[in-house]
Amino acid sequence: MAELTINSRVVVPESVIAREVGGETVILDLDSGTYFGLNPTATDMWRAIAAGGSLGDALAIVEREYEVDPAVLRDDLLRLTEQMLRRRLISLA
């Protein structure tokens, strides 16, 4: 797998479908038949990640929504991205 950086772009595979319920997101991976839940913060990150830009673009979106140390936000975003890559809910473009 290519190294994950803030310049990486990710895509959501065709087999992955997300929907929001009460501010949380539930993601279904049709290939594995498994479901994943995201809390409201992770939901905002997912929305930004899945928007199609680079992770840097996603970070900029999330930074506008959260008054948190940008370095912390960056780490959180990269960690979530890594987790989702590992579970094949996204792939590197």
Q: Which residues bind other proteins (CB under 8 A)?
A: 14-15, 17, 19, 21-24, 26, 28, 30-31, 33, 35, 37
For the bound state, the minimum distance from the C-beta of residue 73 to other proteins, rounded and expressed in Å, comes to 23
Shortest gap between Cβ of 26 and other proteins (angstroms)?
Answer: 7
Distances (CA, A) of 62 to 25, 36, 85: 16, 21, 19
Which one-letter DSSP state was computed for residue 22? T
Contact 6, 59 (CB under 8 A): yes
* Cβ at position 35, least distance to other proteins in Å: 8
